[in-house]
Chains A and B, each alone.
Chain A
Amino acid sequence: MSQPILIVGGGPAGLSAAHAAASAGRKVTLIEKEDRLGGAPILSGYAKLVPSHEWASDVIGAMVKRVVDNPNVTVRTGARVQSFDGTPGAFTATLKDGGKVEVGSAILTTGFTHFDSVNKPEWGFGTYPDVVTTTQLEQMISSGKGVRCPSDGRKPDRVAILLCVGSRDRQIGREWCSKICCTVSANLAMEIREELPESNVYIYYMDIRTFGLYEGEFYWGSQEEYKVKYIKARIAEVTSDGKRLLVKGEDTLVKRPISIPFDMVVHAVGMDPNVDNMTISSVFGVKLNKYGYIERKNTYTTLCETSRPGVFVAGSATGPETIDDSIAQGSAAAMAALTFVPAKTPAEAAE
């Protein structure tokens, strides 16, 4: 049993799986649809990551290099799998360009898609240039240009971050929490206050989910050291008085309507299922769960199995995940694929 492993998706989960399998001596083919590896943190230009405060380009960049330099790994960027046939232990993946790859198993690390804020029009994205997403904010910081209002390049004096945009909302069929956006928002708020000490940063929340050890450093830290203000309200709408943005809502703790001017409003966008998931599901013959992510067969025992034997899944392809958890799952999936023994066919069993 030493057939090559196919890995689809070159983000943190896929890079981790490729490294693990290749380090164990297995041949790996890594397929990535974009023209470079690295997944969301690289493709969307994230700045300093939670929780390590290291730059995404440094740490995820190092993961990319480690995989590219490994002689056991064949990387195919700008590629997609068109069909996936055969039986566990003897699959053939046919790529869009006609190329064929023979593998014994596959790992899907196809990740997520950022929620598109135009689907919540009342919150002003797409209408007002100074309404941006956390992804854009990450890019402002990672590009070195700093946090500026897109409309005229001024330094924002007042910034509002709205949590749960595209998460936890039945109106748009998204009944999940995206897990990391609270902590990422607290982190970004601190970054803004660090770069622009004169600024005022407000976070509008329904619940704060800076889970585990993120509580002290990010939630408390942003309040205690960086004086970020938290307001318990889900806002009604973002409008403009011609000069500044107006955020309207109810401060539920004091039962009082609020309408507050801001220079910049940031949507903490959620992690949608990958828009490709319907195709991925039919090409690889794997089930999706009711939310549209790739379904994991087990929670315990054997991690990372899908509904199809020999096809594994890891990272945010299964639901909202953090980078470190995606990396851990990538290694687990590699382990599952390395030790995978196809069930015997009835004929083989009879011999």
Chain B
Amino acid sequence: MPIHEKSLIRPEKLVEHEELVIEGMDVSGHWSTFIEGRSVPDYNETLQEEIAALPGGENIHRCWQCGSCTNACTVNALNPDFNPRYWIYLIRMGMEEELLRDKDIIWQCVSCNKCTYACPRDVVPEQVMKATSHWLELKGHTPKSPSMIFDEAFSEQVFERGKIEDGLVLREFFKRTGQPVTQPWLVALVSGLVKRFPVFYLMKLGLATVFRPRTRGWGKARDAIEEYVHECEERNRRAVGLGTKGAK
């Protein structure tokens, strides 16, 4: 198609008529391609506020659409559909449906922050991408990403005991992502470790898996952290208009 702009129009909106006469003018065929008007009846007027209320989304209203984030972006260079400027526009205009078309690539942001350093308005687009992914997940549009699941398994242990035990984090991660615990690479890693480590150290490791390490007097800290995390989660849910999840 020689006219580039056609690529901006969704194919289902491009129509040609075999035979059509309008006010005496024959507009049949390929030379009279029509673009059906796009009507967006379902603007989500609160979309910008919802994202702005999530951590990282605070500065989205500053954006003036200069394109510096997109043209600095690592992922955009590989995939032109990854376009932070465009998504910020959609969010600000409340075009939720359009945004959802890209839900499966928005989370691909690699947090390199090149956009952050290019943005003349200090929108911090990297954080906006995070908030947007978060929003998609809270609203149930996208499943939790593997890295998110890992983070959760990791932080839950820290909250619980003030310490982590790597083996347990991994096992939890595999369980929650439905992967077998006996991953070939993991087996190789562990048997490699066993060969090289001094006996005393191996014993310590073994003990740690049985008697889970725990920070002494952690209880108070745990309660405080859990309360805080719960508060944050509830705040986020309220921000995007979801009901409370109930106390943990």
Q: Which residues of A contact B (CB under 8 A)?
A: 122, 164, 168-171, 206-207, 233-236, 248-252, 254-257
**From A164, A168, A233, A236, residue with most partner B Cβ within 10 Å:** A236
Stretch among B41-49, B116-124, B132-140 lining the A interface: B116-124
A255 near B120: Cβ-Cβ < 8 Å: no
Chain B residue total in the interface (Cβ 8 A): 22
Residues of chain B from 51 to 88 with CB closer than 8 A to chain A in the complex: 64-68, 70-72, 76, 80, 83, 85-86
List of B residues within 8 angstroms of A236 by Cβ? 68, 71-72, 118
B67 near A234: Cβ-Cβ < 8 Å: yes
B70 near A250: Cβ-Cβ < 8 Å: yes
* Interface status of B4 (Cβ within 8 A of chain A): yes
Closest 4 CB pairs of A and B: A236-B71, A234-B66, A250-B67, A170-B122
- Contacts A/B (CB < 8 Å), 27 sampled: A164-B120, A168-B120, A170-B121, A170-B122, A171-B117, A171-B119, A171-B120, A206-B64, A233-B66, A233-B67, A234-B67, A234-B71, A236-B68, A236-B72, A236-B118, A248-B71, A250-B70, A250-B71, A250-B83, A250-B85, A252-B66, A252-B67, A252-B70, A254-B4, A255-B86, A256-B4, A257-B80
Query: Could you say which of B4, B67, B76, B120 contacts A170, with CB atoms under 8 Å apart?
Result: B120
A249 near B122: Cβ-Cβ < 8 Å: no
Tell me the nearest residue of chain A to B62, going by C-beta.
Answer: A170
Tell me the nearest residue of chain B to A236, going by C-beta.
Answer: B71
* Interface status of B22 (Cβ within 8 A of chain A): no
User: CA separation between A235 and B69, bound complex, in Å?
Assistant: 10
Q: Is the interface of B mostly helix, strand, loop or mixed?
A: helix
Q: Which residues of B contact A (CB under 8 A)?
A: 4-5, 8, 64-68, 70-72, 76, 80, 83, 85-86, 117-122
A249 near B120: Cβ-Cβ < 8 Å: no
List of B residues within 8 angstroms of A207 by Cβ? 64
A259 to chain B: closest CB distance in Å? 10
A209 to chain B: closest CB distance in Å? 13
**From A122, A248, A250, residue with most partner B Cβ within 10 Å:** A250
A255 near B66: Cβ-Cβ < 8 Å: no
**From A233, A234, A248, A256, residue with most partner B Cβ within 10 Å:** A234
Tell me the nearest residue of chain A to B121, going by C-beta.
Answer: A170
A252 near B65: Cβ-Cβ < 8 Å: yes
List of B residues within 8 angstroms of A252 by Cβ? 65-67, 70, 85
